[in-house]
Structure 1
Amino acid sequence: MGQVLHGSATTTEAVRRAIQHSQASLRSLAKRYGINQKTVAKWKKRTSVADRPTGPREPASTVLSAEDEAVIVAFRRHTLLPLDDCLYALQATIPVLSRSSLHRCLQRHGISRLPEIEGDKEPKKRFKSYPIGFFHIDIAEVQTAEGKLYLFVAIDRTSKFAFVQLVETASRVTASSFLVALIAAVPYKIHTILTDNGIQFRFPPRYANGPTARYITHMFAMRCRENGIEHRFTKINHPGPTARSNG
């Protein structure tokens, strides 16, 4: 089999092997083979005669930023949606995202294939059927080089229409703003929203029957009321439904 050397190689494997086994000085070896003394010293130190891999040690996208990739990974793991559904949901947040760049990103992170249900396991219980317009909203943490961010995720239980928004803080204000953006983005009427019991969506239980809840309306509840949306909550300590959107 012929040798495969990188384009700038000034030595062959035979020359490298001879250098490694020679007792001659760097100067004499450099003169003998017509190469730089630094090249001789380099091959003297190595135990192999093969070229080392060139290019970046870790593959990275030339289109997507590290933050973009963090959002994609968090969304995929949180929703388990197919490739094209992920693409449709994320393009508004990541305008440079294409189907090919999304696929390569999922491959780099080892999540290009959705987990298969094993034959011995019971199939997941299916949700009750609802007309389109029943959305689950959840929040996923996204770790980036700059720190922790939060990804609001909304998925229609029936149509699988998905909408996401990346924010710096997960608060009542950002949750309310996300709902307003969701209503504007969805091309049909939203009639029901299901969330967990986080403070982004309702007052803490200790305030449920106190003056806070009696005289002040939570911002998220106010947006729901203004748009004729029924707001439902998951059971306490029950996992968010968007993570099981394929169920």
Structure 2
Amino acid sequence: MGQILHGSATTTEAVRRAIQNSQESLRALSKRYGINQKTVAKWKKRASVADLPTGPRDPHSTVLSLEQEAIIVAFRKHTLLPLDDCLYALQPTIPHLTRSSLHRCLQRHGISRLPDVEGDKPAKKKFKSYPIGFFHIDIAEVQTAQGKLRLFVGIDRTSKFAYAELHTEAGKMIAAQFLRNLIAAVPYKIHTVLTDNGIQFTNRARDKYAFHHIFDRVCDENGIEHRLTKLKHPWTNGQVERMNRTIKDATVKRFHYDDHAQLKKHLADFIDAYNFARRLKTLKGLTPYEFICKQWTSQPDRFIIDPIHQRPGLNTRTN
């Protein structure tokens, strides 16, 4: 961990530096680091271990001339026609113009999207509002150099408070323990959880004679309503799906981890920063924990403990 790698990187800066300083053959280095000999040769020739920038230095069309691009840009800005209408109108003047070359031209000049016109789109429906304590829960897969891990994530629909754990397995007993840990970590009462229909959370339809699922038993013990998403409708649980992506973008998709311990530490740091320091537009500029503390003043009956006591750092109160 410590360097930012692009998505297709097969080496770290430390490996690249070792290749440049080594006197071994390309074949030996290739076998040692599990990479292609061409990759070894490439880093042998370079003086730096940083990735080179990709893409053209001066983006320009290989199909259109500067005069033709100027015609396209002027036409688009003047008419504000959609892409296909622009194509059909300009093709008599520029016969070799294709839809893809027209789109790339508009993108280069920052006019590929037309300005929104009031009334041309239906108004977005707002999510049904719930009091704090409605958690979306899901499982995702992440990986380090040591192997795969299962990422359990829960996020409050209203406060956006997030809780996450990493496990080597994703069985129903682990899912039930995750729920118990989530209940203990939250300073207020959880009244509803929403999960998919995975076997970690509920019995399959054909298992009608099976025992009451352990996850449901934990819900019953704590007075929690367990809701399930519709089959083949993963977007019903979209809030936690989006949180999964946010966590991955900040961790495994951005950094290399030599072992599980590095990822677990970084994940804990990220979740703390998210809950206590990240200001969210949907919460009107508050952090998730600031929102929770605000709810404590207006709805104290929903809380188990004073959330101010769980803030990081020194907690001092005067009477």
TM-score by length of 2: 0.38
Greater helix proportion: 2
Larger Rg: 1 or 2?
1
